[in-house]
Amino acid sequence: MEPVYLDNAATTKVDKEVLKAMAPYFDEFYGNASSMHVKGQEAKKAVEKARETIARAINAKLEEIYFTSGGTESNNWALKGAFFENFPKKNHIVTVKTEHDCILNTAKWLEGKGAKVTYLDVDKEGFINIEKLKKAITPKTFLVSVMQANNEIGTIQNLEEIGNICRERKILFHTDAAQSFTKIPLDVKRMNLNLVTINAHKVYGPKGVGALFIREGVKITPLLHGGGHERGQRSGTENVPGIIGFGKAVEISGKTDYKKMSALRDKLIKWIIEKIPDSKLNGPVGDKRLPNNVNITFKGCEGEALGGYLENKNIYVSTGSACMSNTNAQSHVLAAIGLSREEQESSIRFTLGKETTEKNIDYVMKVLSEIIEKMRTAGKIKNG
């Protein structure tokens, strides 16, 4: 059996069309996009085309897109940049307990610099409570940061509703859309977004490139100082091949059949819940869940061991978030939706990609039924 890669939330395979588009920018059009000569200008032209494609995808203007090294940098920049622009007049941030570590750890770091941060709770499916968000806002609040979709359990928040509140209260609204970009609609105008994080390697583009949307008129302090690239906001020679690849990945993203992906997702969920006793879905069902995400707790099965057994059968999955470098399988997201430590450690995330086939899912189901039974029988024998 060929490898069945079900860890597309960690990263995706670079699309062949993307690779093809990038290749000439390594050795043919290798100019520095800031150089005035023709070599530089051909690189710059291609960078601006990519910027336009990406801007159009989120209903932004091209001058509102700033290229970065990825989601982590964009999230750091959004929070730190907004903080240093507003501090000490305003110092309060509202975010959520289930955000990615690069938001939570940035928020924690800012607390050391004088920020006050409210970490909103979520319900059992990972949704925030809008009334609690409203109550959390104080006259000192300058930023609300809520991810569009969760990387572990796929919960999609209602950004339009949050955006309306931020507009009324005149507070900046940031979203981390690293997992949702191109999968579900993201419209910076309709959702009243001021800052948006996106990256390329979750959408069949290269690693190490991303962008931050900064609404025209919004001022945030630069993170990197230097030669004044990206209109003085983000210095550093542009990663031209990476940016070209990002643009191409977004350009072709409309070809991905997310209806088919959701159907495969639901087939796997339904089969697991019906056929594997003591299995539980984490996160919501239906269109409030990312089309590629399946997160299951298999009671009594250690997640890391299960991941290892699946790997032996050429199936690649993840326990929690691949972006967490900690080695144990505990998850702040699963904890926030109420799972015990044991349940967190018995959970597995399958994330489908555009190349996932029905045959792949059938194979996973067959392997899962054998492995879970073996693991549980072995567990019973061990525990007497």
Interface residue list for ligand PLP (CB under 6 A): 70-72, 75, 100, 102, 147, 151, 176, 178-179, 199, 201, 210, 323
Encoded tokens for 198: 């996106």
When the beta carbons of 9 and 296 are compared against ligand PLP, the nearer one is 9
Tell me the residue number closest to ligand PLP, measured at CB. 71
Q: Which residue spans within the chain are E strands per DSSP? A: 4-5, 65-68, 92-96, 116-120, 141-145, 172-176, 195-199, 210-214, 279-281, 293-298, 315-316, 347-351
Going by the DSSP 8-state scheme, the letter that residue 88 receives in this structure is: T
- The CA radius of gyration of the chain, in Å to the nearest whole number, is 22
Sequence-distant (≥ 6) Cβ neighbours of residue 277 within 8 angstroms: none
When the beta carbons of 29 and 77 are compared against ligand PLP, the nearer one is 77
When the beta carbons of 178 and 193 are compared against ligand PLP, the nearer one is 178
To ligand PLP, the closest distance from the beta carbon of 178 in angstroms equals 4
To ligand PLP, the closest distance from the beta carbon of 145 in angstroms equals 11
Dihedral angle, C-alpha 344, 162, 261, 65, nearest 10 °: -110
To ligand PLP, the closest distance from the beta carbon of 149 in angstroms equals 8
To ligand PLP, the closest distance from the beta carbon of 1 in angstroms equals 27
User: How far is it, in rounded angstroms, from Cα 346 to Cα 142?
Assistant: 39
Residue 93's nearest CA partner among 148, 136, 134, 149 is 136
Question: Is 102 a residue of the active site?
Answer: no
When the beta carbons of 75 and 297 are compared against ligand PLP, the nearer one is 75
Contact 51, 64 (CB under 8 A): no
When the beta carbons of 102 and 188 are compared against ligand PLP, the nearer one is 102
Residue 350's nearest CA partner among 278, 286, 298, 299 is 298
| Residue of 102, 166, 301, 323 with catalytic role | 323
Beta bridge partners of 95: 119
To ligand PLP, the closest distance from the beta carbon of 197 in angstroms equals 7
Dihedral angle, C-alpha 238, 244, 247, 249, nearest 10 °: -130
Tell me the catalytic residues.
323
